[in-house]
Structure 1
């Protein structure tokens, strides 16, 4: 087996479409289809179920993809070790980050990193936090930005910073009037009891976000189940909907600082501690290249400068 066939099969599995995969691999669709057919002949069974659209992996295909990811990850680690042994100042780092982290973190870090390490390539994979941990575990990223809690049997991690989680509520909410909150102002965040919102509609993040579980836990501790009227995968959407008067939601303060809308929510803090610890994580036992260590160091230095 050669690495090219692993690369091609993985791309088709990712795109679930021969045409899209061929475009990203810079080859023709017929050539890619013929190549995959030859791989399937070597394997002795179909890798893809072509009777459905989009394509699906067969059981054999799932085994093949699992094996291919392992082999490609080992090859990547080997190349990184060689670069380090030879002290080559080139390299590559694949970083996993949520779109929201990318918007405010990478815009600060990447210019600084490229200035100091112009020959190191950075590849960014964006997804939600839970999927980012899976990408790091599978070796699809060298490191990912994540949050506590983390499975310490599977990951090593370094703490980056602590961020407050605030409550965003419509400017028309009685509590906003009572506390004289100003829309969009996150500098004044008085503390409230979450139980005071037991009858208020909530906007909840989807299960792919750790904020989903945080809301349920905080409400349970306050003695009620939240009245969730809307669920979204986008924190920016939740923030905008709170400003539009749809309901209240939990949001990290770093997101609140970065986003601005025509109709802004009001913000307050919870008496029950609500915060998140932001981490950079990588699979336990994975070789961390000089390039990856340089990125982590730059990440820490940039955050330190921005917080001081």
Structure 2
């Protein structure tokens, strides 16, 4: 077994297709098919059942892929450690984050990062949270930046907090009636301080239409959780892929939306919209860098994560 063969076999396992894997690896399908057959001949067992569509992996194949991923990760860790040891400043960082978060966060960090590491290329995978999770499990990326509420990560992953971000409810003012708000004096007593926003009573909003993000997005998971806690089965007006679009549609009166504050800031800030807290204690979630526990973060990767903390943890 060599590194190239292990990379090819794990890619076939991820794609469940020789054709798709060959396209991803930039080699011809016959060449990849020959390499798979050669590896199977060398190890003496079938790694894939090619008689099914999509292709299925055998038990022996699962064991091969599991070990191959560990070896490839160790090889990548060693490469990074050697670069750091030699004070090398050339290389590539593969990381991921949702598309809108990339547009929000990267302009604040890339200029300073490139001053420090002009020879390091940044490759960003922009995708939903579910897709980013699968990418890191496949070792396609070193880390990804994602907001998450309290909860378990898959075994072997670690979350490092970058900053806290407030979640708010956005609605066109005329959609809300006075009985949908909590009594201000009782809210202030419970929070022991002055609030920026009025607080809605979500339990009174079950009959309102909701503007939601599509399943697979972190804010959709959070919104579903919050609404379940209030016993609300939401009447979904529309599902989107953009928090910014959700803010705009909610502001236009098409429904109410729960969004992170960064989506509101991207459109000019809370002064432009009707923004409300939706719990007695203002709701926050943690924006984290997520990576494998046994992943070696190179000096440049560590600098990038720390720079995000510096810029956003204000």
Q: Give the TM-score normalised by structure 1.
A: 0.78
Aligned residue in 1 for 2:241? 234
1:166 — aligned with what?
168
1:149 maps to which residue? 150
Give, in whole Å, the separation in 1 of the partners of 2:237 and 2:65. 36
Alignment of 1:291 with 2:293, yes or no, is: no
Contact map agreement 1:163 1:275 (CA 8 A) in 2: yes
Provide the rounded CA distance (Å) in 2 between the counterparts of 1:76 and 1:148. Answer: 30
SS of alignment partner, residue 270 of structure 1: coil
Q: Distance in 2 between matches of 1:18 and 1:154?
A: 29
Structure 1 residues 271 and 142 mapped into 2: Cα distance closer, same or farther (>3 Å)?
A: same
Q: How many angstroms apart in 2 are the aligned matches of 1:150 and 1:89?
A: 37
TM-fit CA distance, 1:76: 0.4
How many angstroms apart in 1 are the aligned matches of 2:251 and 2:46?
51
- Per-residue CA shift, 1:218-253, capped at 9, x if unaligned? 33554x323243684724464465456543221111
Contact 1:163 1:276 in 2 (8 A): yes
Gap regions ≥5 residues in structure 1: 180-187
Aligned equivalents of 1:171, 1:52: Cα separation in 2: 55
Judge conservation of contact 1:244–1:265 (CA < 8 Å) in 2: no
Structure 2: gaps of 5 or more residues? 182-195
Shift of 1:32: 1.8
1:211 aligns with 2:219: yes
Question: Would you say how many aligned residue pairs link Structure 1 and Structure 2?
Answer: 292
* Local SS of the residue matching 1:292: helix
Mapped to 2, the partners of 1:218 and 1:37 lie a distance apart of 50
* 1:175 to 1:73, Cα distance in 2 relative to 1, 3 A: farther
TM-score, normalised on structure 2?
0.76
State the SS of the aligned residue for 2:67: helix
The verdict on how the C-alpha distance between 1:41 and 1:220 changes in structure 2, with shifts beyond 3 A counting, is same
How far apart in 2 are the matches of 1:85 and 1:303? 30
Stretch deviating more after TM superposition (67-76 or 50-59): 50-59
